[in-house]
Structure formats: structure tokens, C-alpha cells
Structure 1
Amino acid sequence: MSKSAMETAKAARLAFEASQSVSSEERSAALLAVRAELERQKEKVLEANKQDMDAAQDQVNAGTLSASLVKRLDLSSSEKWNSMLQGITDVANLPDPTGKVTYATKLDEGLELYRVTCPIGVLLVIFEARPEVVVNIASLAIKSGNAAILKGGKESSNSAKVLAGCIRTALSQSKLHEDYIQVVQTREEISGLLEQDKFIDLVIPRGSNALVSHIQHATRIPVMGHADGLCTVFLDETADPTKSCRVVLDSKVNYPAACNSAEILLVHSSILNTVWPRVASTLLSAKVELRCDERTLQSIPSTISSVNVKPSSTEDYNTEFLSLIMAVKAVDTFDEAVAFINAHSSHHTDAIVTESPQNGALFCRSIDSAGTFVNASTRFADGLRYGFGTEVGISTGRTHARGPVGLEGLVIYKYLLRSVDGQGHVVGEFGATPDKKRYRHEPIEATLPLDLSGR
């Protein structure tokens, strides 16, 4: 009999609470045990994955599913399988994000205050079809000390079930409870879990705008995520043509379906007849459809005109195409570009191509996005590329975590106060009158004493 949503959430909470005495070394050992179990069960995992692939291909043939989704489901290639396993090892080898002292001060003689990083608690993570995400997120949760309940896309249900079984088998042989990582399968389970704010501390959705918006309105639990990936590249008046072609092409073409691919290109009006034609030709050669405003449309030479060049609409500059389509617009000034990006961006990642260090620095300060890049593809916005081992998702919010969320984004902090005075300390002894003590607020070594750290 399957668990109710409350039973699942409560089991995760109990597993989390029991895990707080588990050391960093024991969590890393649990991760290596997960990798070993996946290696042992590879044939079983790939058999389940083939069932998902076959079912998905039937839907593609029926016209109810995109062919690109089938490719994302596939775990059978050696590169993807080995990358998934290596990701576990990479996370296991990362520094422990918990127990770090970020503030330490002496309030009085023998009275010490420490701010220390700690896990958030129980995570509910809802993500797209890719089955390896089960392993990626489970790895981050285990390393960061958070329990997790995972829900993948229905297209990967067989793969996710077997992967979760491997993880739970490995955990049952470790210092962590097997309920530390749980996988649910249905929308009904998610609806119930979104009501469990007593046991679940954070929801992380990875998916469409509609999914994220629905979850944000369906729960009292804090939600960390992003709804859109409207990323922009701006070519300023100093942009180098070769550099512009490379950065814009990679930002759009490397993986168009990703949330960090560029959807909008802004071109400074002073380079409409020089740099822009070369960039347009490069994009058209890669079969990108250009939706241009009047000035960029007129600046494309007739020698490179194409059926893939069309007039843009207002809506094009607010659309996440997730395909080989790019909206293009001319701007007359740096300030106009910044204002346009801040108005239309989803605050994910935006880039400038410039030879002006001043413009690059000003762009990074002025753009209100989680990632601001200079002369680099927006596709670099990724936890693996940032050195996080992997990522649990992307956040475009302005509190706690922002951008690719790896281990550091899965911890919060607590304050530890200890008195080593023989009588203990009380607030009543402190005050502004002559007979009262004053707080010292003197910095002390940012290292937890053994009796607080347990190490």
C-alpha cells in the first residue's frame, strides 16, 4: 500500500532529524555506496529506461510528444551514464557546506556567538523528464544534509523508480535512513505534499512557466525556482565581430531548449551595418529563425536574405522560444539596452559583448539578473560549469539562493551562543546605566569549539 502525502512528508522529516548526528564523512560514504549500487544495478536501470524510451517513442509517433524529449530521457549512452556516476563522486568530494562559521563575536567575557551554516530541512523537488536528475538531486541532498522527496516527469517514471530503489538500498546500508530520499510518481501525491508545510521546508520546481506558477499559488511552503529563461545578449558599439558571432551563436544554438539559451539579441545602432550582418549570417547558417524589428531587418543585406528572417512582434520579446528562434532589436544607447533587458528579462542570465571594460563593469552592476556575463555565452550559467558538482535547479529570486543552486544554496544558518562563565549569562546584567555591563562585540576566531562542532 502506498503512503499518504502526510506519511511521506512525515517520514522525510523524521529521517532528516535523525540525520543531524551523521558526520560529513558518513554522508560522503553514503554517496559512494549509492554509486556502487547503481553500478551493480546498471542493467536493471537501463532496462527500465528502455521501457520509458519505447513508451515515449510511441507518443512521438502519435504526435503527442516531442522527439527532443526522447533524447533527454535516454540513459543508455556511456557518456551520459558515466557522467551521472562521476557526478556522485564529484559531489562526495566537495567540501561540506554545513558547519561553516560565517560570523563570530564575543559579547562578553566568556560569552561567544557563532553564525553557522546548516541544512534547510526537507526538500520537495519537482523536475522535468531527465531521469538522471533523480541521482543528481539526491546526491546534493545527501551531501548538504537535507532530506528530499523527488517527483520527475511521468515519461521517466520507470527509470526514476529503479534509480530511487538503488538509492534507498544504498542508504539502508549507511548511517542514513532509507526514507532520507523518496520518489513519488503522481500529480495527486504532489498536490497532497504541497499541503504539508508542517514537514516540508522548501519546494524547488524545475519545469515550465505554468508548472512553477501553479506551485507558487498552490502551497504555503516557500518556493525556490524560476518560471522562464528569457536571456539576452547585447552587442554594444565596441563589440568585436568575431567575438560577437561566437558568443551569440553558442548562446542560441548550443542547446536551444535550455533555460540558459539566449532568446533576445540587442544590437547597438552604430554597428547595424558592420557587425550585425556578420552575426545575422552566422545565425542563419545555423538555421536560426530571426524575428527582427524594422531597423535590424533593413540592415540585413539582400545577399544573405532568407526565409528565416521575419518581422518581429511585441510578444516575441517576451517569449521563451526554447528552439532555433531569436528575437532581435536595435537600441541607440547603452542605457536603452539596460532598461530593455531589465523590463523584458526573466532575471536568469544576460550577457554583453564589448571591448569596453567600463561598459562591461557597468552592465554587470546595472542588470538585475542572477547572472551577468561579459563576452561569454549565456550557456555557462550552469551548476556543473560553475564547479558545484551538479545543481538542484536555477533560482531567479532575490532571497537566499540565486542562479544555479548547488550545495551552497541548500544550506541556511543558525546562531549558536555559548557561555563558559561558571554562573551562566543573563540579559539583565547588561544595559546603558553605570551599574550594567556593556556588550563587547569583539571579533573572535571563526572556528567552532570542539564542544559545539562535535568534530
Structure 2
Amino acid sequence: METIARKTRSGAQNLAILNEAARNEACEAIASSLEASKAEILAANQADLTQATESGIPEPLYARLKLGESKLATAIAGVRDVAKIADPLGVRQIHRQLAEGLILERITCPLGVLGVIFEARPEALIQITSLAIKSGNGVILKGGKEATNSCQILTKVIKNALTTTQVSPDVIQLLTTREEIHALLALEEYLDLIIPRGSNEFVRYIQANTKIPVLGHADGICHLYVDAKADLEQAIAITVDAKTQYPAACNSIETLLVHEAIAPVFLPRVAEALAQHHVTLLGDQATRQYLDIAPATEIDWRTEYCDLILSIKLVSSPEEAIAHINTYGSKHTDAIVTQDKETAAIFLNQVDSAGVFHNCSTRFADGFRYGFGAEVGISTQKMPPRGPVGLEGLVTYKYRLIGNGHIVANYHPTTYL
């Protein structure tokens, strides 16, 4: 493992000094190679799907594992989009004169080597790789065991593509066993950041077992609050999209909060719309006065279903909705539907989440849709980067001080420029 990490760091150091054109050319080579290898990639993914079916994999995990032509095409488009984004490296954030001829600059630079441990989502490997190369970082990847065939073929294709560029194939490494994770977490000498993508329990385990900084991406318990002054047609469309467009995604809603004033009209209509998508509804006692559905319990408010299941709760005010979200949410993404701008402003200001939306689906919480090209994950922690982590979240900065024989003994500060 140490040999792998050392090779990755060496490759990353060489990558960091390449110009933007060379890094963009590498991204294009990867995109073209993935397109040319589509049949081989989809066959490997089908092998994973077959094994997953035989082992009785849960349906939400199966949905994440399935690549398919559409997902693959979107991931490839994301690689090309990353290449089009402005170079995140070498950006001068500060330029000031501390004294005559003594210039201070703050310049962006790569983090170094990333360790990314992700779930059964093969396209994540493509997204992470393109972001790493564009931002000048090496990356050691560990996918879920259920996606082994998919990850192996994708890594092979990407490495082969890099042999035709100035970027060393060593900047991308793939781990395939659980034992390697433990070894990876002990390599603080070589890794600069660990990004775990999985459950809260998994993220906490990673944080507790490494000295390497960890960028946490845990559960996606997302909420939609439909206010008393909501446009009901709009609210129904947003609810259906946020729950059913891709229920296995971390940005789909798990709880629908509804103002009690509109419950008699809204609940039957939204239930009918969701029934057309085979959504199972659970509700609190007040909700069940209007809908014949099973009861929701305290556990449901804390559950990420990743499936066609939705819990519903009635609230008496926006403040009650906000309190519920801040109590049970995972600080991922939460939304309000209302025509009252003042209520919307209160919601956006007081909900403590990485993403707070007004009159739109939580499914927009995605680095690709934000125009980041792709993302390595969505961070639910308070310290930046927060939300979808794209290129800007994978760079740091260094201070450069340029003088001409300056010493502190005779230093006289000047006005900042």
C-alpha cells in the first residue's frame, strides 16, 4: 500500500506542474477512451448487476450500481465539462505590497493526493478522476465491492488513455479489498484528504480511524416544506420530482412537511400524483386524518429510504417546519414551496443545511447541475467546502513572499495595495 501511495504522490507532483492545456488534453483523452470502450464497460457493469441480483442486493443500491448508456454518456459529458471550466490552479487571490519591493501573493495549488471511498456508483469514479486531474491531484479510489468489475474496467480504460498524454497513469490508483481501506487510513505521510461517501456510521468510522483530514459526506435526509401560501400545482410537481426522479439519490426527499391550512386540499392531490409513481406514503397522526396510510414513527424522521417511500408530517407554521428540519435533517438539502417571499427568506436563512432551495426540486443539489462539471461528493459539514464539492473544493493555496534582501529588523509596512 505504501508503494502505491508513493507512486501516486510522485505522479501528482508531476501533474501539479503541468499547464492547463495538458490537463485538459488528458480529460479529453479519457472521455474519448470511455466512449470507445462503452461496450466493454457496460458488459462489466452487467456482470456486477448479475452478481448483485444473486446476492439479494437492496433495490436502492442496485439502482446506484446500474450504469447504463445514459449514465455513462452523462458521466463522459461531465469529463468534457470539467475540461471547459476555468483553471483552478495558479489563481492569484491576494496581491499586496508589504513594503517597498516586498510583494505578498496568495496562489491556489493542488491539495496533493486524495483518498476517495465511495459506494456502488461506478460513474463516481469517472467524475472523481476528471476532477482530480483538472485540479492537479492524484487520487486513490476504493469503490464498493458490488462494483468491482465496473471500477476495474473504468480504471483500466482511464489509465490506458493517460498513457497518450503528459499525465502519468500513476495519478490514478484503484483498491479492491476492504483490508486495503485500513492500510489507506494509516498513510498520513502520503495522503492529504480522505473523502468517504456512505452512511453516517461509515463516515464516523473513517473519521475515528485516521489522522488524515476527512471531508464528510453522510446521509441525505432531505425535506420539502409546502407552505400555506404555496402554488399547489407547483408544489405537486416539485414533490413528485424530488421523490421519484431518482429515489436512490442522496438529494431526493425523504420527508414532506405540509402546512395544516392546505392539508385538506393538498394532501389528496399530492397523494394521487405520488401513487402514479408507486410511492409508499407514511404519515403522522394529523396526516392520517386525510390519507389512509401507515403511520410514520420517530425512526422515519431520521431515515434515508433511498426508495419510493415518503413520510409526511403536518406543521402549523414555517417555524415548526424549520425546527423539524434542523432536528432531523442531515444538513444536506432542504426546500420550501411558497409564494411568500418573506417566509421563503426566513426559511433560507434559518435552515442549517448545505443547500436551501426555494420553489425548486432538491434534485438540483448536484455538482453537474451547478455547473461544476462533476463532484467528488456533497459535504454536509460546516467548514468549507460545503455542498457539492467540485474543482474549487480540491485546491488549497500557498503564500508567496517576494523581496529583495528584506529583513524584519528594518521592516516598515506600507499601505496595502
Give the TM-score band, short-chain normalised.
over 0.9
| Alignment partner of 1:371 is 2:355 | yes
1:332, distance to aligned residue in structure 2 (A) = 1.7
What SS does the corresponding residue of 1:270 show, helix, strand or coil?
A: coil
Taking the aligned partners of 1:378 and 1:246, their CA distance within structure 2 comes to 12
Counterpart pick for 2:389 among 393, 396, 405:
405
What SS does the corresponding residue of 1:129 show, helix, strand or coil?
A: coil
Amino acid paired to 1:179: D
Amino acid paired to 2:24: S
| Alignment partner of 1:428 is 2:403 | no
Decide whether the 8 Å contact of 1:241 with 1:278 is kept in 2.
no
Provide closer, same or farther for how the CA distance between residues 44 and 340 of structure 1 changes in structure 2, counting only shifts above 3 A. Answer: closer
1:38, distance to aligned residue in structure 2 (A) = 2.9
Counterpart pick for 1:292 among 283, 288, 293:
283
Taking the aligned partners of 2:219 and 2:60, their CA distance within structure 1 comes to 19
1:75, distance to aligned residue in structure 2 (A) = 4.0
| 2:157 aligned partner | 166
Count residues with an aligned counterpart. 417
| Alignment partner of 1:143 is 2:140 | no
Taking the aligned partners of 1:65 and 1:81, their CA distance within structure 2 comes to 22
Taking the aligned partners of 2:220 and 2:269, their CA distance within structure 1 comes to 26
Taking the aligned partners of 1:403 and 1:385, their CA distance within structure 2 comes to 12
Amino acid paired to 2:354: A
Decide whether the 8 Å contact of 2:64 with 2:248 is kept in 1.
no
| Alignment partner of 1:48 is 2:44 | yes
1:372, distance to aligned residue in structure 2 (A) = 0.2
> Bigger shift: 50-59 or 351-360?
50-59
| 1:348 aligned partner | 332
Amino acid paired to 1:188: E
Decide whether the 8 Å contact of 2:63 with 2:248 is kept in 1.
no
1:43, distance to aligned residue in structure 2 (A) = 4.0
CA RMSD of aligned residues (A): 1.8
Taking the aligned partners of 1:242 and 1:429, their CA distance within structure 2 comes to 71
1:83, distance to aligned residue in structure 2 (A) = 2.4
Spell out, residue by residue over 1:416-451, the C-alpha distance to the aligned partner (whole angstroms, 9 max, x if none): 2212x4xx2222223xxxxxx234222xxxxxxxxx
Spell out, residue by residue over 1:249-295, the C-alpha distance to the aligned partner (whole angstroms, 9 max, x if none): 11111111111011111122222223333223323343322222222
Taking the aligned partners of 1:104 and 1:362, their CA distance within structure 2 comes to 38
Counterpart pick for 1:178 among 169, 188, 191:
169
Amino acid paired to 2:264: N
Alignment of 1:186-335 (within 5 A): 186-298=177-289, 300=290, 305-306=291-292, 309-335=293-319
| Alignment partner of 1:115 is 2:115 | no
| 1:447 aligned partner | none
Provide closer, same or farther for how the CA distance between residues 285 and 33 of structure 1 changes in structure 2, counting only shifts above 3 A. Answer: closer
Taking the aligned partners of 1:35 and 1:314, their CA distance within structure 2 comes to 46
Decide whether the 8 Å contact of 2:195 with 2:217 is kept in 1.
no
| Alignment partner of 1:66 is 2:49 | no
Alignment of 1:373-392 (within 5 A): 373-392=357-376
What TM-score do the two structures reach when normalised by structure 2?
Answer: 0.95
| Alignment partner of 1:440 is 2:415 | yes
Provide closer, same or farther for how the CA distance between residues 56 and 397 of structure 1 changes in structure 2, counting only shifts above 3 A. Answer: same
Q: Which runs of 5+ in 2 are unaligned?
A: none
Taking the aligned partners of 1:34 and 1:416, their CA distance within structure 2 comes to 34
Counterpart pick for 1:14 among 7, 10, 30:
10
1:380, distance to aligned residue in structure 2 (A) = 0.7
What SS does the corresponding residue of 1:383 show, helix, strand or coil?
A: coil
Taking the aligned partners of 1:310 and 1:25, their CA distance within structure 2 comes to 57
What SS does the corresponding residue of 2:368 show, helix, strand or coil?
A: helix
Which structure: larger Rg? 1
Taking the aligned partners of 1:243 and 1:167, their CA distance within structure 2 comes to 43
Taking the aligned partners of 1:134 and 1:70, their CA distance within structure 2 comes to 17
Amino acid paired to 1:276: L
What TM-score do the two structures reach when normalised by structure 1?
Answer: 0.87
Decide whether the 8 Å contact of 1:15 with 1:179 is kept in 2.
yes
What SS does the corresponding residue of 1:273 show, helix, strand or coil?
A: helix
What SS does the corresponding residue of 1:265 show, helix, strand or coil?
A: strand
Amino acid paired to 2:84: N
Amino acid paired to 1:192: A
What SS does the corresponding residue of 1:294 show, helix, strand or coil?
A: coil
Q: Which runs of 5+ in 1 are unaligned?
A: 431-436, 443-455
Spell out, residue by residue over 1:83-133, the C-alpha distance to the aligned partner (whole angstroms, 9 max, x if none): 232222121122111112222222122222222221111000111222222
Spell out, residue by residue over 1:194-235, the C-alpha distance to the aligned partner (whole angstroms, 9 max, x if none): 110111011111123332222122211111122211111111
Decide whether the 8 Å contact of 1:104 with 1:115 is kept in 2.
yes
User: What is the percent sequence identity of the aligned residues?
Assistant: 46
| 1:129 aligned partner | 120
Amino acid paired to 2:402: R
> Bigger shift: 40-49 or 173-182?
40-49
Amino acid paired to 1:174: T
Decide whether the 8 Å contact of 1:124 with 1:148 is kept in 2.
yes
1:20, distance to aligned residue in structure 2 (A) = 2.3
1:76, distance to aligned residue in structure 2 (A) = 4.7
Spell out, residue by residue over 1:23-46, the C-alpha distance to the aligned partner (whole angstroms, 9 max, x if none): 111111111222233344444434
Amino acid paired to 1:66: P
1:169, distance to aligned residue in structure 2 (A) = 2.0
Decide whether the 8 Å contact of 1:240 with 1:275 is kept in 2.
no
